[in-house]
Amino acid sequence: MNTLRTLALTGLLGLGLNTPLAAADWPALPEVAPAPADNPTTEAKVELGRMLYFDPRFSATGTVSCNSCHNVMLGGEDNRPVSMGVHGKTGGRSAPTVWNAAFNVAQFWDGRAATLEDQAKGPVVNPVEMGMSELEQAMDRVRAIPGYRQYFERAFGADAMTVDNAARAVAAYERTLITPNSPYDRFAKGDKKALSAQQRRGLETFNAVGCTACHAAPTFGGTLFMKFPTFTDNEYVKRYDFMADAGRFAVTGNESDRHVFRVPTLRNIALTAPYFHNGAVRTLDEAVRVMAKTQLNRGLSDEEVKDIVAFLNALTGEFPEQSMPRLPATPGWAFEVR
Amino acid sequence: MNTLRTLALTGLLGLGLNTPLAAADWPALPEVAPAPADNPTTEAKVELGRMLYFDPRFSATGTVSCNSCHNVMLGGEDNRPVSMGVHGKTGGRSAPTVWNAAFNVAQFWDGRAATLEDQAKGPVVNPVEMGMSELEQAMDRVRAIPGYRQYFERAFGADAMTVDNAARAVAAYERTLITPNSPYDRFAKGDKKALSAQQRRGLETFNAVGCTACHAAPTFGGTLFMKFPTFTDNEYVKRYDFMADAGRFAVTGNESDRHVFRVPTLRNIALTAPYFHNGAVRTLDEAVRVMAKTQLNRGLSDEEVKDIVAFLNALTGEFPEQSMPRLPATPGWAFEVR
């Protein structure tokens, strides 16, 4: 399931803790995300992708861009339970963070897009997100903006203004959205002072109770699918309405995929409240309690929760500085929006 | 009304045109906007103001920031007839551009805010814009985000997290949003090749027919109030429903202010379609025809319209590069949005 966990144990983290931890199980986040062979990351693609990512004109109302719900000025999402698309419409799931999404095994909560390239097309034609009737309608808007042509040509050559290339550019940009050098990462690289004593206790508890089964370093999630909730006989499942969403079952139709979701990354988790696929849980400490109960059938002491939360705060990385794109104009006219 | 027009005539533009133009009437845009004595522009204020400007969390839904409707990645507004605020609500007027708003004699279409500082507070509590119930409710959110404190202290000293200081910071940021060095400006500074022959003809026509009475250089608007429409007996007034909005009358209650509006700047006008206070006119050439008829009671030939539009395109300036702000987190929790 998770190849990262199958690495040979090559050392032990000198934590001074009760349980020796294998250093090979606790690597730091790579600073560069892998790119697929058919879409190598280039500066020209990243520049174009950044523009498209921030451009709201490809939504029905002209008000919703990728960044509206996956805000890179924040934790890569919108801090709402569920996102708000065109005309104030809302869906059933909470926006996943775009930061480090390049490391995910698949995209969307139900993994219905295998790649960032595929994912980029989804929200454009989702009636509660960007609300365009079809992808070519959105692309017609891109093509109608004279200033975009040169950026497509620079990135992809002549006659390049296609939906697929737009998606490739957005994906290339998203692959630059990596947040390395969190306190955890500095710790994993040998800076033993990078984590506080409480954070080190939290790391050990996180490991000891079994969180790492799904949320393993370096990404702490994103690399496999899992049933949620696994244990349903508890107060949380009803309170937060966790059984309402069939998860990946709606994609595959396989009974074994009922309530199965892509495990979310815990990178920058302190920045992305509220929590879970439906955004029903407002705070990180409650999210930790919920996870322990629903996935491990285990109660945690207040102290354990605090320690784990402290550790999770150590997964907040460094955000690369970004320039603000200038978006080319529709000179002397505007799209008919509704 | 417009002190810029009262400058002594110190020279003539060497246009090779029929009508000699006084160079003093055609200055270039200043590169720095004036700041009020009680809010001098500082780097610390600008940095804080930029963060607040891009932060959507101070709207009821957590989705609408200043930039949502006054998009600095575009022409400083949203290319919509009227803006879309929380829950997809819309109002009756088109968002004015934030670029060069620092030169305006007053803010909003009806001039109801005397300063950028006052203006910044309006949309926050407008039910169809950011939708907060009161300014202090929005400020409570700012105060609840731990990371904002240091920026307020750096900009304003201790105990500085007030509504007025937030507005001062946003205004200070907006005063940096100046677009100098348009083709017109380079022309005004002596580069005779900066305008094409058609643009020079357009400039002369623009002057000859009387547009400059309200849209005078260097700002081409923003510096006085005027009745719109002045001439009502024409096809445009009904077609575009121009009599529906009483303008400044709603602010002052004075009959003389009925249908009076702040004259908008024509700087970057090619980027800010659709046009007029109600955004009812989709294209710039139609806007030129409408203005000639409703304000000057004059028809223009197709050639004159094309020339003026060409000149107006020469008012698109250089947009300063901007860094993207990182917004401080609500660590491990999120606001309750609705």
CA of A78, closest CA in chain B: separation in Å?
8
Bridge partner list, A22: A12
For CA atoms A168, A169, A174, A178, the dihedral sign is positive
Q: Are residues A300 and A207 in the same domain?
A: yes
pLDDT-derived band at B21, boundaries 50, 70, 90:
confident
Is residue B337, in this structure, part of any structural domain at all? Answer: no
DSSP state of B4: G
Q: Are residues A166 and A223 in the same domain?
A: no
With contacts defined as CB-CB under 8 Å, which chain A residues touch B271? 329, 331
Is residue A323, in this structure, part of any structural domain at all? Answer: no
With contacts defined as CB-CB under 8 Å, which chain A residues touch B63? 68, 78, 80, 84
CA of A316, closest CA in chain B: separation in Å?
10
Q: What is the average per-residue pLDDT within B38-44?
A: 98
Q: What is the pLDDT of residues B93-126, one digit of tens each?
A: 999 999 999 999 999 999 999 999 999 999 999 9
> Rounded to an integer, what distance in angstroms lies between the CA atom of residue A104 and that of residue A279?
20
Tokens of A2: 């998770």
Q: What is the average per-residue pLDDT within B171-193?
A: 97
> Rounded to an integer, what distance in angstroms lies between the CA atom of residue B168 and that of residue B313?
32
Establish whether B321 is a catalytic residue: no
Contact B78 A86 (CB under 8 A): no
Q: Which of B80, B283, B337 to mutate to test the interface with A (most CBs of A within 10 A)?
A: B80
Tokens of A313: 């705060």
DSSP state of B244: S
Angle at Cα A314 formed by Cα A171 and Cα A98, nearest 5°? 15
All residues at 6 or more sequence positions from A120 whose CB lies less than 8 Å from its CB, including other chains? A66, A166, A167, A170, A171, A174
pLDDT-derived band at B6, boundaries 50, 70, 90:
very low
All residues at 6 or more sequence positions from A159 whose CB lies less than 8 Å from its CB, including other chains? none
The single-letter code of the amino acid at A225 is F
> Rounded to an integer, what distance in angstroms lies between the CA atom of residue A311 and that of residue B108?
48
Tokens of A309: 């939360």
Residue ranges making up the domain that contains B250:
3-30+184-313
Contact A322 B324 (CB under 8 A): yes
pLDDT at position A15, please?
A: 54
Tokens of A160: 């390049």
Asked if B29 contacts B180 with a C-beta cutoff of 8 angstroms, the reply is yes
Last residue of a domain, one of B108, B139, B174: B174
Bridge partner list, B9: none
Bridge partner list, A261: A226
pLDDT-derived band at B54, boundaries 50, 70, 90:
very high
Q: Return contacts of B298-302, CB within 8 angstroms, 24+ apart.
A: B298/B209, B298/B210, B300/B205, B300/B209
Q: What is the pLDDT of residues B63-97, one digit of tens each?
A: 999 999 999 999 999 999 999 999 999 999 999 99
Average pLDDT, chain B: 94
All residues at 6 or more sequence positions from A26 whose CB lies less than 8 Å from its CB, including other chains? A13, A188, A217, A218
Residue B186 has φ and ψ, to the nearest 5°, of -65, -35
Last residue of a domain, one of A174, A207, A222: A174
CA of B324, closest CA in chain A: separation in Å?
5
Q: Are residues A79 and A126 in the same domain?
A: yes
Q: What is the average per-residue pLDDT within B322-326?
A: 96
Asked if B135 contacts B125 with a C-beta cutoff of 8 angstroms, the reply is yes
All residues at 6 or more sequence positions from A202 whose CB lies less than 8 Å from its CB, including other chains? A306, A307, A308, A309, A310, A311, A312, A314
Among candidate residues B117, B129, B286, B304, the one labeled active-site is B129
Asked if B60 contacts B47 with a C-beta cutoff of 8 angstroms, the reply is no
pLDDT at position A22, please?
A: 81
Is residue A331, in this structure, part of any structural domain at all? Answer: no
pLDDT at position B12, please?
A: 57
User: How far is residue B120 from each of residues A76, A175, A225, B66, B125, measured CA to CA in Å?
Assistant: 26, 36, 46, 8, 10
Q: Are residues B51 and B88 in the same domain?
A: yes
| Residue with more model confidence, A28 or B7 | A28
Q: Are residues A186 and A300 in the same domain?
A: yes
Is residue B49, in this structure, part of any structural domain at all? Answer: yes
For residue A190, the domain's CATH number is 1.10.760.10
Q: Give the other-Cβ count within 10 Å of A59's Cβ.
A: 23
Asked if A267 contacts A317 with a C-beta cutoff of 8 angstroms, the reply is yes
- Alpha helix positions (H), B234-301: 235-239, 249-252, 284-296
Asked if B314 contacts A332 with a C-beta cutoff of 8 angstroms, the reply is no
Contact A54 B74 (CB under 8 A): no
Torsion of CA B113, B116, B120, B122, to 10 degrees: 10
Last residue of a domain, one of B124, B144, B174: B174
pLDDT at position A12, please?
A: 57
pLDDT at position A18, please?
A: 52
Is residue A330, in this structure, part of any structural domain at all? Answer: no
pTM of the predicted model as reported, rounded to 2 decimal places: 0.94
All residues at 6 or more sequence positions from B269 whose CB lies less than 8 Å from its CB, including other chains? B220, B275, B284, B312, B315
Chain CA centroid to CA A220, Å: 11
Contact B273 A333 (CB under 8 A): yes
Q: Are residues B113 and B204 in the same domain?
A: no
Q: Are residues B170 and B47 in the same domain?
A: yes
Bridge partner list, A113: A107
Contact B270 A89 (CB under 8 A): no
- Of A54, A273, A323, which is closest to B330 when you measure between CB atoms? A273
Nearest in space to A26 (alpha carbons), one of A5, A47, A43, A46:
A5
Q: Are residues A80 and A147 in the same domain?
A: yes
Q: Give the other-Cβ count within 10 Å of A282's Cβ.
A: 17
Q: Are residues B50 and B119 in the same domain?
A: yes
Over B218-237, what HEC string results? CCCCCCCEEECCCCCCCHHH
> Rounded to an integer, what distance in angstroms lies between the CA atom of residue A245 and that of residue A250?
9
Residue located via tokens 């931890």: A21
* Stretches in chain A below the pLDDT threshold 50: 1-10
The single-letter code of the amino acid at A59 is S
Tokens of A172: 């290339």
Q: Give the other-Cβ count within 10 Å of A224's Cβ.
A: 17
- Of A71, A313, A329, which is closest to B331 when you measure between CB atoms? A313
- Of B86, B313, B334, which is closest to A273 when you measure between CB atoms? B334
> Rounded to an integer, what distance in angstroms lies between the CA atom of residue A91 and that of residue A95?
10
Q: Are residues B164 and B119 in the same domain?
A: yes
CA of A333, closest CA in chain B: separation in Å?
5
Q: Are residues A189 and A256 in the same domain?
A: yes
Is residue A334, in this structure, part of any structural domain at all? Answer: no
Number of domains in chain A: 2
3-state secondary structure of A262: strand
Contact B284 A79 (CB under 8 A): no
Residue B5 has pLDDT above 50, yes or no: no
CA of B49, closest CA in chain A: separation in Å?
14
- Of B282, B319, B332, which is closest to A285 when you measure between CB atoms? B332
Is residue B120, in this structure, part of any structural domain at all? Answer: yes
Is residue A25, in this structure, part of any structural domain at all? Answer: yes
pLDDT-derived band at B153, boundaries 50, 70, 90:
very high
With contacts defined as CB-CB under 8 Å, which chain B residues touch A81? 337
> Rounded to an integer, what distance in angstroms lies between the CA atom of residue A236 and that of residue B21?
77
3-state secondary structure of B124: helix
Q: Give the other-Cβ count within 10 Å of B338's Cβ.
A: 10
- Helices B284-296/B302-313 angle, 10° precision: 110
Q: Which of B69, B82, B84, B323 to mutate to test the interface with A (most CBs of A within 10 A)?
A: B84
Q: Are residues B211 and B282 in the same domain?
A: yes
Residues of A belonging to the active site:
129
Q: What is the average per-residue pLDDT within B292-298?
A: 98
